[in-house]
Amino acid sequence: MKIIKNENLIKRNGRIGQYTSLGALGVLGIGMYLSFQRPDLFVVSIGALIAGFTMTQVGMYFSNRFGRSPRPDEQLDAALKGLPGDITIYHYVTPVPHLLVGSAGIWIFQIYHQRGKVTYYKNRWRLSGGGFMQAYMTIFGQEGLGNPNTEIANEIDQLKRYFVKHFGETEIPEINAILVFSNEQAEIDNTDMPLPALKLKQLKDFIRQKAKEKSTDFLTMEKLKALLPSE
């Protein structure tokens, strides 16, 4: 398997997470100081606390993706190590963060690090359990599942427009998507899920099976990869 990633973007965003988190501590400290020492500046102290909390959220967002190892791209690379050489994974070099192209087809990966039970019920993705720590992290910086259906639809649309621009509208192959959970304490109930979802350790076997099905045209995939970034 060939790996192509935007190292400069990863380093830059990692620094953004680091500096934003450090700045947030300073702003929160100012807010706390003013709230105790300068009651007459109550509005200013509240503003500083709100700004500090917002900066904390931003810092954790960037740090979780780009600053802490193993990063999502590193986890995917390790999980997929050993796949055939006609498969390429792209990190942060296309309109979507993680894209795989090759004999298995075209796959967008949405990676999640939450613990708990993942279900799909009444057209909603749900995350339950996970204990106190999961609830704490959800409040203080860790995203919930959000709406994977909408997020994936938006990413597929962005990728289609990218392909139309470079590839030609009539030749766009099918674009697939999968939800990948990296936390071993995640439990996935696939009943009625509109998108495939599995644990990180199951991903390589899944992609290998898709490659064995030979449902994609080799020349089309090679033509597509030739139009994508090569380094």
Q: pLDDT tens digits for 27-50?
A: 999 999 998 888 888 899 999 999
Q: pLDDT at position 147, please?
A: 87
Burial bucket for residue 23 (CB in 10 Å: 0-12, 13-18, 19+):
middle
Q: pLDDT at position 141, please?
A: 47
What's the pTM?
0.85
CA distance 185 to 133: 12
- Overall average pLDDT of the 125-135 stretch: 66
Residues whose CB falls within 8 Å of the CB of residue 213, separated by 6 or more in sequence, listed in order: none
According to DSSP H, which parts of the chain are helical? 7-37, 42-62, 72-80, 131-139, 148-167, 203-212, 218-227
- Overall average pLDDT of the 194-212 stretch: 93
Residues whose CB falls within 8 Å of the CB of residue 62, separated by 6 or more in sequence, listed in order: 13, 14, 16, 17, 20
User: At 170, is the pLDDT very low, low, confident or very high (cuts 50, 70, 90)?
Assistant: low
CA distance 231 to 228: 9
Mean pLDDT of the chain, nearest integer: 87
